[in-house]
Amino acid sequence: MNFAPSSPERVLHDTWVFVHGDQVHLFYLAIQVGNNQHRFIGHAVSRDWLHWCELPYIDLAGPEGAWDAGRVGTGHTFQGRDGRFYMAYTGRTDPQEDVGLAVSDDLLNWRQVSDTPVWPQALTAPYETDFRERGVHQAWRDPFITILPDGRQVALLCAKRSDGPLAARACVAMAQVDDLTRWTTLPPLRTPPLFPTMEVPEIFAMDGRWWLTFNANGGWGRRLDTASRDITGGTYYLVAGDPLGEWRVPEDCLLIGSGQGRRDAVVARSVIFGGERLVYHHYTGSGEADSPRALGLPKVLKTAGNRLVLRPWAGLAAIHREISVGDWTAPTTGPFSSGTWGTDGKLWTGRCPHGAAAAIAPASTSNLDVTYDIQLRDAERAGIGVAGGKDGRGAALVLIDAKRGQIALCELRPGAFGPVLDPPLDLAHRPLQAHATYRLQILRRSRYVEVFLDDELVFSTIWAGPGAGQNLVAVVEGGSAAVQRQAAHGLSPIE
């Protein structure tokens, strides 16, 4: 949705960002198409997160027989007290993973600081010791370096405990980093034994509390449901008053990701940029090397009580373009012709007591950022779709469902006697009410769709549907609802 490698032989995987001056340096695992291997680290630079200049690939994998001769895994770039730049990275020679360290004076040319790992995998309790005997995936990867409140520099990574069910052993290992050459393994963070993995962990302080983000997936041996989503995968979070104290699971711990067993937005990380904490992530799709992987658009991270929420980023205006949107019209024949539509000059109101009715508004592009107010009135469901073809079919449709307390992402399809809205592609539970107004923002760029409800992110999705048209669609089902456009912009295509 934002950046992907130009080479047809490489695709983007896990990312990490280092901000230096006014430049955003994006590092990512550059997977070779066809074999899902990542020996090389990709590198691109931007000043606005939207326009990127690709730089040469970085090769940190060791020679044959070295501890890091296999795949190179996710890392973290930071500046040392000596002013030089360092990159902690995962090295792997099956079945073991360890952490190495590289150094650079210019962020372009990198060399290993040692022929041996700086943080070798701990093979004693409380960390997992029996992964070889059990024949399961080990975990000692994705390092992250930070400073604790007491001034100590520490490293964190994805690990597993030595006891408990295999699908709930995930933990976050910690090491004290004294001078970048001495890394002393410490006990793990005090997290609850709930997740099958806690990949790419990061901690940070925000609004008087500490937050821990990490990536997991319900398809890795344990179903993960949250208050808002079922069968989830993506980036989760925990909260604590002290990073060395007990970490707690908030009521809804999914920061960004998918439900219904989908794989869309994953591995979200955050960085301070322009006085805001921005979250960035990538899309993974099915997980195969030819999936439509790309860097997502940044979102602004905020707290809302005991929750983290993602809000639209104002910097997106840099890729806004003028767009024309026509008036709503209702089909008079065919499966989308049920119900009636009318306007008072400001609101367009649809009525369909039984089944669903659709109205169509032509737009001058399918890459767009539109915001509509939805007045539910007595309707069971109502919503807006984008990128619809003839009669709106194939549109990426977002439905607000007060009757069931749900927001659904659907592909609009024609049925024999009306629009077909089910089953949804993804679903989020929300405490919605009839006779209420909700603000819905939908962004579509290339094969990706993002949805905000009342300025909170709900969906960030790979859109694999046929929607390649330029029609907007309004839908009402089981009563009446009104829509009113608040903003409409085109989005420049991905460079």
Using the CB atoms, write b or e for 254-267: b if 16+ within 10 Å: bbbbbbeebbbbbb
Share of the chain above pLDDT 70, in %: 96
CB 268, CB 457: distance < 8 Å: no
d(CA 493, CA 4): 12
308: nearest Cα among 299, 297, 317, 296: 299
The residue behind tokens 């937005």 is 265
**What count of other Cβ atoms lies within 10 Å of the Cβ of residue 290?**
12
Across 29-38, 226-235, 400-409, 422-431, least confident range: 29-38
In CATH, which superfamily holds the domain spanning 10-311?
Glycosyl hydrolase domain; family 43 (2.115.10.20)
CB 105, CB 53: distance < 8 Å: no
pLDDT at position 8:
87
Cβ neighbourhood burial of 362 (10 Å; 0-12, 13-18, 19+): middle
d(CA 284, CA 13): 7
Omega within 30 of 0 (cis) for the link into 126: yes
Tell me the residue type at 59.
Answer: D
Is residue 422 scored above 70 in pLDDT? yes
pLDDT at position 132:
60
d(CA 325, CA 321): 13
- The 10s digit of each residue's pLDDT in 273-293 is 999 999 999 998 765 545 678
pTM value?
0.95
CB 229, CB 427: distance < 8 Å: yes
H or E segment to which residue 134 belongs: helix 131-134
- The 10s digit of each residue's pLDDT in 176-205 is 998 888 899 999 999 999 999 999 999 999
141: nearest Cα among 100, 80, 176, 181: 100
381: nearest Cα among 259, 483, 256, 231: 483
234: nearest Cα among 195, 200, 263, 212: 263
User: pLDDT category, 89, cuts 50, 70, 90?
Assistant: very high
- The 10s digit of each residue's pLDDT in 120-165 is 999 899 998 876 655 557 789 999 999 999 999 999 999 999 988 8
What is the pLDDT averaged over residues 105-131?
91
* Chain Cα centroid distance, residue 308: 14
DSSP-derived secondary structure for 257-276: EESTT---EEEEEEEEETTE
User: pLDDT category, 415, cuts 50, 70, 90?
Assistant: confident
The SS3 assignment for 131 reads: helix
pLDDT at position 278:
98
Q: What is the DSSP letter of 455?
A: T
CB 288, CB 431: distance < 8 Å: no
Distinct helix (H) and strand (E) counts, the chain:
1, 35
CB 319, CB 297: distance < 8 Å: no
d(CA 37, CA 70): 9
Task: Give whole-number Cα distances, 136 to 127, 221, 230, 411, in Å.
Answer: 14, 11, 26, 38
In the chain, list all ranges with CATH 2.60.120.560.
320-491
CB 376, CB 383: distance < 8 Å: no
In the chain, list all ranges with CATH 2.115.10.20.
10-311
pLDDT at position 332:
86
User: pLDDT category, 253, cuts 50, 70, 90?
Assistant: very high
Phi-psi region of 16 (alpha: psi -120 to 50; beta: other; left: phi over 0): beta
pLDDT at position 290:
55
Q: In what order do the strands lie in the sheet with 72-79?
A: 72-79, 85-93, 96-104, 111-112
d(CA 31, CA 37): 5
- The 10s digit of each residue's pLDDT in 23-72 is 999 999 998 887 766 789 999 999 999 999 999 999 998 888 888 888 89
- Kindly compute the dihedral angle of the four CA atoms of residues 110, 106, 14, 16, in this order, to the nearest 10 degrees: 140
pLDDT at position 146:
97
pLDDT at position 26:
98
- The 10s digit of each residue's pLDDT in 5-34 is 999 888 899 999 999 999 999 999 998 887
The residue behind tokens 């460079």 is 495
d(CA 218, CA 167): 10
pLDDT at position 181:
81
Is residue 362 scored above 60 in pLDDT? yes
Domain 320-491 has CATH 3.20.20.100: no
- The 10s digit of each residue's pLDDT in 428-482 is 999 999 999 999 999 999 889 999 999 999 999 998 766 578 999 999 999 999 9
H or E segment to which residue 133 belongs: helix 131-134
